[in-house]
Structure 1
Amino acid sequence: MKFNLSEWALKNKGIILYFMLLLGIVGVMSYSKLSQSEDPPFTFKVMVVQTYWPGATAQEVATLVTDRIEKELMTTGQYENIRAYSRPGESMVTFIAKDSYRSEQIPDIWYNVRKKVNDVRSQLPSGVQGPFFNDEFGDTFGNIYVLTGKDFDYAVMKEYADRLQLQLQRVKDVSKVNLVGLQDQKIWIELSNTKAVQLGVPVTAIQEAIQKQNDMAGAGFFETGTDRIQIRVSGHLHSVDDLKKMPLLVGNKTIQLGDVAEVYRGFSEPAQPRMRFMGENGIGIAVSMRKGGDIIALGKNLETEFNSLQKSLPLGMKLQKVSDQPVAVQRSIQEFLKVLAEAVIIVLLVSFFSLGFRTGLVVALSIPLVLAMTFAGMSLFDVGLHKISLGALILALGLLVDDAIIAVEMMAIKMEQGYSRLKAAGFAWQTTAFPMLTGTLITAAGFLPIATAQSGTGEYTRSIFQVVTIALIVSWIAAVLFVPYLGEKLLPDFTKQNQQAAWYLRLWARLRKQPAPVVESHGQHHDPYQSKFYQSFRHIVEICITYRKTVIAITVGIFVLSVAMFKLVPQQFFPPSNRAEILVDLKLEEGASLTATEQAVHKVEQFLSKQKGIDNYVAYVGTGSPRFYLPLDQQLPQASFAQFVVLASSLDDRDEIRRSLETQIKQLLPQVRTRVSLLENGPPVGYPLQYRVSGEDLATVRAEAQKVAKVLSEDPNTTNVHLDWGEPSKIIAIEIDQDRARQMGVSSVDLANFLNASVTGAVMNQYREKRELIEIRLRGDKSERVEVASLANLAVPTTKGTTVPLAQIAKIESRFEEGLIWHRNRLPTITVRADIRTNLQPATVVQQLADKMQALRADLPNGYLVEVGGTVEESAKGQNSVNAGMPLFLAVVMTLLMIQLRSMSRATIVLLTAPLGLIGVVAFLLLFNKPFGFVAMLGTIALSGMIMRNSLILIDQIEQDIQAGHEPWDAVIGATMRRFRPIVLTALAAVLAMIPLSRSIFFGPMAVAIMGGLIVATLLTLFFLPALYAAWFKVKKATHLS
């Protein structure tokens, strides 16, 4: 006798009750321990290699440093692409590993990158500093605070910031605490070149004097019979006054440094990248969470520490919040839990309304049990709570009741037909358990391409597969173990009482203006399929089978039409985030000073200070914001760039402020390239429209890029069109007369060092103060550093101990040179970038521009490329990675179908129904004006699994009936009638459960796609599938109906 798990459950009720209680408790405990975050864990497969070569032009850096590092890294073969930029004196190479590598493989790749770069180190020019590595590109600093104080300078604020940093580092679950916007202290010695020449004080003499007094040197020690006694020599610098009083030997006289130079304590000039909060300079304190931590718990701990730290600050100094990710996460989770609760209520109402109170109660009680087991599974597989997993839970909710409905519905039907509770539960196991299991696995397999997608996008959305699969499998376990127990306890005795007919029977009677029907039992067995509703439904199915070719032709025609109309559906990658922050980017011309950038920042600050609905705003001058949000498109440090993060009070305020900024900021800063944008969802992309132009010759690349930019600018849908590599920057060229310079005893290196010391400042030594090492720098006075005309009169020291005016040994000219050179895979590359001003999606705009771009490509010189980047490229990567998993998906589904049906023909029939859901997907997306994005694509693929599940259960029922001796004609009709209620109810539960999720910006398109697909697929399962089966197997009408 075959083992029957449901019968076993009813014979061992005590064990079942124990496990129900145990699993419920474990689920609650698991839920409380699940990590919580805004976004799922996501590996940034990026390493930055940075190298400095002071004095070199951007072209020299690109040729002699960047290209050599790129060339060596390309031999790894492990890169998706290698993107690099070269500036005067600086090289930055960004190695982006292939998406196909798993996160656990990345450390080995970074080791290989370091090894390759170290191999090429000996080939780099002398004077190069580095290379230096940064593989912590994805650290997210969810909590950012700022320390401000109008009456305090940076030195005092840094002292307090250091204390706060130390205290915050001790908070549980804190990983890193970084200080942002620091201004390094300097001790400046400003000495006029003219005065130095008159007094005969060379720079080397000042440096030598400081070193002799301040350098640390051991004075030895005495070793006695009992002690070792160290000898200490005094004289080190202990204050700026000590430096001022330091003696200098000038000729036969000794003078103090302060008598000939201005000596004072200050800060870096030009300033380092700054952080400004609400119009005030400040020091940022950025806090990141350790891997696997709970952001909500961390937020509570930080809030306690924040309140404590406030009390330790002096009057006039404030510690304020800039970014508070725990609050954003808590708000997001609460919103999702609210949606989840709404979905639960909807599913419960469907169960009660359609199955009756006591039958529906069985399904209702199974929901918290399945959710508890799902939470336990999530804890086991280390899946935390975040926007993806919570959305997957809501998606799963409409599916996890399917098995419970099928099991209890079959049990109730058999009890109505006179079976005992034990026999009814056993029959449900025999007839539905394994088709349900196969259907459950097929539905889960629909999400398999997400699990196998080897891409950043796939990694970001992988928890959809994990959560849905866990929920579906445990729902089957609940349906065969726990639902029979609940049914035995809760289902009524159908032989002793009148039962109200199902909702659809009552609705059918109302439409026909007849009294509401009841199931009259009174001790007699009742066959619900003899009702007028089922007889009418039977008639419709008979018509579909009779005119099978017409039904099939109409279905195929509608499907083909849907495929044709799919091009009308807007295409999308990921929607913008629903967080309240707005990003405002300011980019001045290449080569602009930090001072000019700061002036532009002040104008925006004045504008923002007058706006309503803003909680706070922060400006990062000379750099972009730290990664306070995982998918943030981080910006590189550059003096000509600034970024605002504006936190609105609400989403409505956010949209209003954004519109205000977009209309007025260009008038406010007409000479500055500005961009106002929202935070992104999914892997960061940046500008939605991007075209890369690559080739060997810089001038040709720029000319072709300007043609691409012209095409984009002429399109009415685009705005903010620009090149990421602008026009050349201004420089001052010193053309040395080498013969004359050699005669005078001046070399090019000596002249460069002298000019650097005069204009920028040369490091003389270090001043040691507590934990600080403060550079002592010597430079010329202000007039020599600010006025370019003064260069010609500078007295250049010679090796003969004399000086010579710069104008006598060199020509001084103003020129232009490349201030920035971008490479992509070793080719000079300019990216043309643009935003979209209309509601069109990037893919639509790219498609509209395709012919013009193709015409440009046709005219390109050999070896030059124009490639599409941005959203379209990233979306294609994500889709391709998912598509790569489709063969496995089909293989798994076909294998499961063959195991269950044992027939290639029947398995093929089920497989053919999978794509038909596209009819409803297209119709609903167009009807509700929703884009077909990456998440909607995942939902559509998963939808095919849901459709095949229903088709499988119906085909399996037909085969069971035929094997039981029914004529094929009767079997097709009878099986369709018997599967009507579970198919409709499961589809109805899934569709209605999606309604709350359809409001979500992120999951809304997927929910709408699944709703439309399931509605249409349900109709096709009930009417098209019987016609297809009849046509495939040439089923003929029986002479006598069974």
Structure 2
Amino acid sequence: HRDHSRGLIMRFIQNPVAANLLMLVLLVGGAVSASRLQSQVFPTISPGTVNVTVPFPGATPAEVEESITRRVEEAVLGIDGVKRVSSTASENVGVIVIETNDFADRQLVKDDVESAVDRLSDFPPENAEKPVVVAPKPTSGVVTLAVVGDVGAPALRRAAEQIERDLLTQPGVSLVSLSGDRDYEISIEVSEATLRRYDLTFGDVADAVRRSSLDLAGGSIASDSGEILLRTNKKRQTGEAFESIVVRTLPNGSVITLADVAEVRDGFVREQLINLYNGRPAVFVDVLRAEAEDVLKVKAAVDVFLADYTPPPGIQVVEFRDETRLLRERVNLLLRNGLFGFALVFTFLVLMLDLKLAVWVSVGIATAFMGGFLLFGVLGVTITMISLFGLIIVLGLVVDDAIVIGENIDAEREHGWSGEIAASRGAHGVMAPVVVGVLTSIAAFAPLLVTGGTFGDVTRAIPLVVISVLLVSMLEAFCILPSHLSHGGPWSRGVLAKIQARVAGGVAHVRDNLVSPGVTFAARWRYATVAIAAAFFILCLSLVQNGQVRFIFFPQIEGNNISASVTMPEGTPFERTDAAVRRLTAAAAEVADAVREETGEELFVSVTSTSGGYAARGVGPGAESGFRASENIGQVRIELTPFGKRRMPAVEIERRWRAAVGDIEGAERVALSASITRFGDDVDFELAHQDEQQLIAAAEEMKERLRLIEGVNQIEDSFDLGKRQLVFELTPAGSAAGLRPADIAVQVRQGFFGAEVQRIQRGREEIRVYVRYPEATRASLESLDEFRVRLPNGDRAPLLTVARVEESRAYSSIERIDGRRVVSVSANVDEAVSTPNIANAAILQTVMPELVAKYPGLRWVQAGSSREQNEDLADIGSAFLIVLLVIYAMIATQLRSYLQPIAILVSIPLGVAGAILGHLVLGFPLSFISIFGIVALAGVAVNASVVLVDLYNRRRAEGLAPIAAAAAASARRFRPILLTTLTTAMGLTPLLFEKSPQAQFLIPMGVSLGFGIVVSGFMVLFVTPAVAVIMEDLRGLRGGARSIPDSDEVAEANA
């Protein structure tokens, strides 16, 4: 027998000051640490890429592919740490994205990529800009300010720029960018007639600007009074200043200035852009958060600025798209459900245990959580929607440990032991199984610490939170709780004591009349019991297999915004793009009006539209922020009324909006989304073929096949025709005149695209200066008839006499993966109809084999989120196999048996079966969120089973036969199992009935843990003893004997 007057537990029992001080340190330290933890909506996720961008103004996608992307690909393929190389050759720019292996050092990869690009000879090509190699740093949106007013684009831009400058002076704000605006540009426009009149060329005008607008250091003079620097400061900053530049000096001494031969336009680039906020012109100021910044502090700094800001006359500044609202709603959800669940747990504990025990178990839960916050600061855990989810998961595990130990101490008191001895005996009595139970829970979550990819980055906070709180809870349960329970008598008095006595009598009645006989029956008919349990498990698994319970890897998290984007073909007139955007806006208004008529509720706070551009706001996992301008794209963003004032879910609003929009004539793609957690398209396949026509045909047929799959929508491919293009080829007359193709190319480029002559810095903006034809000339095909080419001998000849022109149309962009051209076919899935898993399975089983058979030589690979999901699941599956072996080893070591761990581990699949059944009953699909609940459930079930089997072994050691020992152990463990089962379920009950969108993300976890704990609790009582007795049978067969208990032994055990 153990000496319970010694050891660490007894030291804290005999020194309550130490126990109370330890509790105080955990509570106060945790509170201080919590106040200092960084807050963000989602965990910071490294993009995991190195990007090479090479601007090539005026170049076609084919030119960019040939001279930029292919050469960079060949240089970087094979670099250590590179997982995949993809590139996109578009008009004017080539972008190469180098994906790095999980846990690779991106900075080292970036350095190697830079070196490889630098080693390329004759790179970049003429007229292309210097390559930019970056390892993108993650940023995310905090809030957007709309600068609204009918005062004209220049005035709105100036006001937005001033706000940008002022915000950057605010402490705590470091990233601010403008979106929905055009770049500044100075365009020096010279007509062909003027050039001929003055016998000038574009080169003459460009050279004059370069010579006359410059800042140049001229050295220094060392005088007696000191060194004097020599400089020429004549760099022009405004269009008006350029007009005085002398282009040519005539023999009579008079001069021709730029104003004489050209019109100088100082304004915005030619591409059109319209931004509207609730129907009024606007420019947007996006406030972003860098990796190390606190989203709530950044938002607070913006609020301070707005409180003191006075906008210019005619301009209004409106705050919208406040992404911190998501985090605040999640915190409020946690507090609301946590407090309500905690109240239910406390009430139930009070009904079944002495008031003192209920109070100190509850205080222990709070201490474990605050102690966890103390460790969060050390481990770098931040307050995010994901880490808060981890706190909800761990609640059931913490309750379990405290109840098991507290209840056992209470049982020792009932057996007549004094306070200190009862506390020591109670804690030591379950110490080994509780420690093993906690360690198995830690082991179950441990693989998520080393999972790679986006999924690993998103979920890594969950195991850190769970493990931290579990470690502190174990410290509290063995060092603090026994000290509190060892001193003084019971606290329950009067009516409360009577109620507790009646509840205890009811529990005893159930134990003696249902549990004990039931366990005896299950143990006698143990093989039938196990067979029934196995059949139940297989039946529940089949619910998933046949699709009655669906599986979605990462469920959509509904936000406060819905967005829609439209992409028209390259070269589409801006007016058609604007009409498509207005169609989206009108359809949204139709939905809002219809709902207002139906329910009287207002759906929208604001509607923002952009014609000629697309804004990406980084909020969800891996999201990035930025703005892309192009006349063939548009976007509508809707900020929804907060859910408390709006009953209709965002997903339903999205469906109605999609139906109201219908088909937009001529649009290449229309995409709508109400989710903030998309990792990419639900369906994404990359096709490759040596024959380009075969590749295009295969992609078209695949899109047609996808349209036949139920629930699949937003089907598109990456094969888009680009703008019409005119290709020039020298005629015999041109060759005879001494022209080369490069001569034609340079002169045509100068006239129509423009010759970039300078870049000037004006404030925060870098402004490009071009010399080119007037806009009217550049917009007309007839101007080619007037274009004159300067010949080598100085004469001029009409363009169409020295070159023939052919019209063609190529791709808008060319995608390449690992050195070969590909066409991507992608789609999304309406989760109300089907799931990505079902859609992808149908494609893999039927569509792809038939396409490969029809188009020999076709190669394909699954890409996007599906590919990453498969990789993540494979990694997690391998890791959990190892974890099961570790858990088995820990249990086997504690029980000193190779067979008995099987009796404990059977509780896990039975809990999984309960979780699946819960999803079926409540109509939720399984997801990785559900899996977290199952993992937490496994910890609770294993903990209860270990304690039960440990007690079973003790009863066997005392001489009871197997069935009698099984009945005795289950009867003794009935109350703590009932307590842990019902307290965990009650703690999750408020979450299960929560209606807010934020809760829908968490409910599957609650379903898994709540339903699973009820089923596994029941199974632990009846199936685990049956399996334990079967293990005795196996041991007996091996030893040639078999124990057969009699009814007297069972009755004696129950007594």
Q: TM-score, normalised by structure 1?
A: 0.91
| Aligned residue pairs, count | 1012
User: Does structure 2 retain, via aligned residues, the 8 Å contact 1:141–1:626?
Assistant: no
Match of 1:641 among 625, 633, 638: 633
User: Does structure 1 retain, via aligned residues, the 8 Å contact 2:441–2:936?
Assistant: yes
**Structure 1 residue 351: deviation in Å?**
1.3
**Structure 1 residue 245: deviation in Å?**
4.4
State whether structure 2 residue 17 is matched by structure 1 residue 14.
yes
Alignment of 1:97-246 (within 5 A): 97-98=100-101, 100-101=102-103, 105-120=105-120, 125-136=125-136, 138-154=138-154, 157-218=156-217, 223-228=222-227, 237=236, 240-246=239-245
User: Does structure 1 retain, via aligned residues, the 8 Å contact 2:148–2:280?
Assistant: yes
Alignment of 1:256-405 (within 5 A): 256-257=256-257, 260-271=260-271, 276-308=276-308, 310-311=309-310, 313-405=311-403
- Counterpart Cα distance in 2 of 1:97 and 1:81: 7
Alignment of 1:956-1035 (within 5 A): 956-998=950-992, 999=994, 1000-1034=999-1033, 1035=1043
State whether structure 2 residue 924 is matched by structure 1 residue 922.
no
Partner of 1:666: 662
- Counterpart Cα distance in 1 of 2:489 and 2:851: 71
Residue identity in the other structure for 1:629: V
Partner of 1:65: 68
Instruction: Out of 285-294 and 1029-1038, give the one that drifted further.
Output: 285-294
Residue identity in the other structure for 1:466: L
Residue identity in the other structure for 1:326: T
Residue identity in the other structure for 2:796: T
**Structure 1 residue 323: deviation in Å?**
2.8
**Pair 1:864–1:21, CA change in 2 (3 A):** same
Residue identity in the other structure for 1:1024: V
User: Does structure 2 retain, via aligned residues, the 8 Å contact 1:574–1:1002?
Assistant: no
- Counterpart Cα distance in 2 of 1:90 and 1:903: 67
State whether structure 2 residue 554 is matched by structure 1 residue 574.
yes
Partner of 2:818: 825
Partner of 1:592: 572
Deviations 1:771-817 (A, max 9, x none): 76644422223442111122123122223222111111122222122
**Pair 1:756–1:1020, CA change in 2 (3 A):** same
**Structure 1 residue 408: deviation in Å?**
1.8
Partner of 1:515: none
- Counterpart Cα distance in 2 of 1:768 and 1:139: 26
State whether structure 2 residue 631 is matched by structure 1 residue 628.
no
**Pair 1:753–1:345, CA change in 2 (3 A):** same
Secondary structure of 1:379's counterpart equals helix
Residue identity in the other structure for 1:475: S
User: Does structure 2 retain, via aligned residues, the 8 Å contact 1:544–1:1027?
Assistant: yes
Alignment of 1:399-798 (within 5 A): 399-489=397-487, 491-492=489-490, 500-501=499-500, 505=504, 507=506, 533-567=511-545, 568=547, 569-592=549-572, 596-605=576-585, 611=592, 613-631=603-621, 637=628, 639=630, 640-651=632-643, 652=646, 654-655=650-651, 657-666=653-662, 671=667, 673-681=669-677, 684-727=678-721, 729-737=723-731, 739-765=732-758, 774-798=767-791
- Counterpart Cα distance in 2 of 1:768 and 1:981: 76
User: Does structure 1 retain, via aligned residues, the 8 Å contact 2:239–2:266?
Assistant: no
**Pair 1:863–1:120, CA change in 2 (3 A):** farther
Secondary structure of 1:579's counterpart equals strand
Secondary structure of 1:314's counterpart equals coil
**Structure 1 residue 507: deviation in Å?**
4.8
Partner of 1:903: 897
User: Does structure 2 retain, via aligned residues, the 8 Å contact 1:180–1:283?
Assistant: yes
**Structure 1 residue 231: deviation in Å?**
6.2
- Counterpart Cα distance in 1 of 2:80 and 2:635: 35
**Pair 1:238–1:547, CA change in 2 (3 A):** closer
**Structure 1 residue 493: deviation in Å?**
8.3
User: Does structure 2 retain, via aligned residues, the 8 Å contact 1:783–1:790?
Assistant: no
Instruction: Out of 917-926 and 224-233, give the one that drifted further.
Output: 224-233
Residue identity in the other structure for 1:919: A
Deviations 1:349-396 (A, max 9, x none): 221223243432232222222222122122222212211111111121
**Pair 1:773–1:1001, CA change in 2 (3 A):** closer
- Counterpart Cα distance in 1 of 2:653 and 2:542: 40
Partner of 1:880: 874
User: Does structure 1 retain, via aligned residues, the 8 Å contact 2:51–2:98?
Assistant: yes
Any gaps of 5 or more consecutive residues in structure 2? 593-601, 1034-1042
Secondary structure of 1:130's counterpart equals coil
User: Does structure 2 retain, via aligned residues, the 8 Å contact 1:997–1:1004?
Assistant: yes
**Pair 1:501–1:391, CA change in 2 (3 A):** same
- Counterpart Cα distance in 2 of 1:559 and 1:229: 89
State whether structure 2 residue 855 is matched by structure 1 residue 855.
no
**Structure 1 residue 728: deviation in Å?**
5.2
**Structure 1 residue 500: deviation in Å?**
4.7
State whether structure 2 residue 1044 is matched by structure 1 residue 1036.
yes
Match of 2:87 among 76, 84, 87: 84
Secondary structure of 1:31's counterpart equals helix
**Structure 1 residue 287: deviation in Å?**
2.6
Secondary structure of 1:835's counterpart equals strand
- Counterpart Cα distance in 2 of 1:636 and 1:704: 33
**Pair 1:768–1:136, CA change in 2 (3 A):** closer
Residue identity in the other structure for 1:549: Y
Match of 1:23 among 8, 19, 26: 26
**Pair 1:490–1:68, CA change in 2 (3 A):** farther
- Counterpart Cα distance in 1 of 2:163 and 2:528: 77
Residue identity in the other structure for 2:969: A
- Counterpart Cα distance in 1 of 2:425 and 2:877: 40
**Pair 1:220–1:865, CA change in 2 (3 A):** closer
Deviations 1:860-887 (A, max 9, x none): 5554223333443332222122113113
**Pair 1:767–1:576, CA change in 2 (3 A):** closer
Instruction: Out of 351-360 and 571-580, give the one that drifted further.
Output: 351-360
**Structure 1 residue 890: deviation in Å?**
1.7
**Structure 1 residue 597: deviation in Å?**
3.4
**Pair 1:671–1:23, CA change in 2 (3 A):** closer
User: Does structure 2 retain, via aligned residues, the 8 Å contact 1:370–1:471?
Assistant: yes
Deviations 1:165-220 (A, max 9, x none): 33322333333223334433333332221232133232233233334433334566
**Pair 1:121–1:92, CA change in 2 (3 A):** farther
- Counterpart Cα distance in 2 of 1:532 and 1:802: 110
**Structure 1 residue 436: deviation in Å?**
0.8
User: Does structure 1 retain, via aligned residues, the 8 Å contact 2:215–2:233?
Assistant: no
Partner of 1:511: none
Q: TM-score, normalised by structure 2?
A: 0.89
Residue identity in the other structure for 1:34: L
Secondary structure of 1:625's counterpart equals strand
Residue identity in the other structure for 1:412: D
**Pair 1:781–1:175, CA change in 2 (3 A):** closer
**Structure 1 residue 957: deviation in Å?**
0.8
Any gaps of 5 or more consecutive residues in structure 1? 509-528
**Pair 1:630–1:505, CA change in 2 (3 A):** same
Secondary structure of 1:829's counterpart equals strand
Secondary structure of 2:906's counterpart equals helix
Secondary structure of 1:141's counterpart equals strand
User: Does structure 1 retain, via aligned residues, the 8 Å contact 2:903–2:1025?
Assistant: no
